[in-house]
Amino acid sequence: MTTNAARAETLVRALRAGIEGDHETVRALVTGDVRAWTPAFATATRDELIEALDHRDDAFSDMDLRATPLDVGGDFACVEWSVDMTHTGRLSFGPQTNVDATGTRVTVHGITVAEFDDDRICSFRQYWDELAVLEQLGLLDT
């Protein structure tokens, strides 16, 4: 039986692999039928997840993940995280709305909840505040 601590560490590894574009590690840590939901995409298979990770824009770089595993039970793991990143590329909100790179360093705070099938992630949900990034870039009045 996999421990909660081991599941949380697997989730942190998966988050880091997703940010770094490490498809091999993502493939090793999730099931073939993994279901995923985030504010940016939803997928129903490992291949769809890899494709969604590949289609992220290149608006941000120099990403630094900090993660804190939370103690949960059963077949679940939960990680509270933050990512510091620099706005170094065009940020697109559709065909007519683009924001050129500002060089601004922003921080996104979020949480990921994952369900496991033995030692591999079979589903996860990820939540973060997208408006906080826009505020930090000076695109929204606070």
Whether the model clears a pTM of 0.85, i.e. scores above it, the answer is: yes
Residue 141 within any structural domain of the chain: no
Residue 102 within any structural domain of the chain: yes
Alpha helices in the chain (DSSP H): 4-20, 23-29, 46-54, 130-136
Mean pLDDT, the chain, integer: 91
Q: What sign does the CA torsion over 66, 131, 56, 46 have?
A: positive
The pLDDT of residue 140: 83
Question: The domain spanning residue 11 has which CATH number?
Answer: 3.10.450.50
Residue 14 within any structural domain of the chain: yes
Residue 20 within any structural domain of the chain: yes
Residue 58 within any structural domain of the chain: yes
pLDDT in tens, 28-87: 999 999 999 999 899 999 999 999 998 777 889 999 999 999 878 889 999 999 999 999
The pLDDT of residue 54: 85
The number of folded domains in the chain is 1
Q: The domain containing residue 76 runs over which residues?
A: 4-136
Residue 142 within any structural domain of the chain: no
Residue 85 within any structural domain of the chain: yes
Q: Are 13 and 29 in contact (CB under 8 A)?
A: yes
